[in-house]
Amino acid sequence: MHIHFIIHEHFEAPGAYETWAKMNKHKITYSHVYNGDRLLQSVNDIDFLIVMGGPQDPEITIDECPHFDSKGEQNIITQAIDAGKVVIGICLGSQLIGEALGAQYERSPEREIGKFPISLTKAGSSHFLFSHFGEVLEVGHWHNDMPGLTPDSEVIAYSEGCPRQIVAYSALVFGFQCHMELTKDVVALLIDNDDLSNASNYHFVEEPEVLLSHDYDEMNKKLHVFLDKLANVYQSKTNYL
């Protein structure tokens, strides 16, 4: 399969998503937009579109951030969805999916930076792709906002600080406000590029030394199983068609 990543900043690395793609020997391509890479001109040759996070929000204009084309990315997302591709958005990426589908992103009730539990909803617990998550799973977080909901979307998981941690927009389209891709290396990059000096002012923001002390392997493995299942669903549909 062909996995394409849109990466907004060098410190918002694909982490465990990229590890999964490499382990499975998938073709991997990138739009490193912070380096001036162009967005895809066509989605015909890809199977997965994975849109990573970033410090931007969907309303940021090109004048404000010249390397971030929110409308252009939403157009690519729409093309991929219409073409029956797998689309996964992480953090900012999840908000862009919602926007592309007509659902406005919102401010999360709490800022979350750290490793905190998410709880599966009834829809999440009964969903084949998430059945291995269990009722509660500790995952990574690094956000202020959350994705919008469409009339057909389902909230798969929530946390104490954010009611929309994982959203299923369709059978092949998912928004992850949480960061299950985090590794210690990615966390170190994020710490170096964020101001956590006021961490103690927030209930769900951890100090840098705590962030670096966590073990992220278990959530990475859970993410990989989800991706395996999703790839099987996609390939089954593709083979059928």
Q: State the pLDDT at residue 240.
A: 42
Residue 101 burial class via C-beta count within 10 angstroms: exposed 0-12, middle 13-18, buried 19 and up: buried
Residues 203 and 70: their CA atoms lie apart, in Å, by 31
Residues 115 and 236: their CA atoms lie apart, in Å, by 34
**Cα 96-102-104 angle, rounded to 5 deg:** 60
Instruction: Show the low-confidence residues of the chain (pLDDT under 50).
Output: 240-241
* Domains of the chain, CATH where assigned: 2-240 (3.40.50.880)
**Cα 212-214-217 angle, rounded to 5 deg:** 115
Q: State the pLDDT at residue 238.
A: 62
Residue 202 DSSP class: S
Structure tokens at 216: 């992220």
Looking up tokens 């073409």 gives 83
Residues 11 and 193: their CA atoms lie apart, in Å, by 7
Residues 141 and 109: their CA atoms lie apart, in Å, by 14
Phi, psi (rounded to 5 degrees) for 42: -150, 145
Structure tokens at 132: 């291995």
pTM: 0.96
Q: State the pLDDT at residue 97.
A: 98
Q: State the pLDDT at residue 241.
A: 39
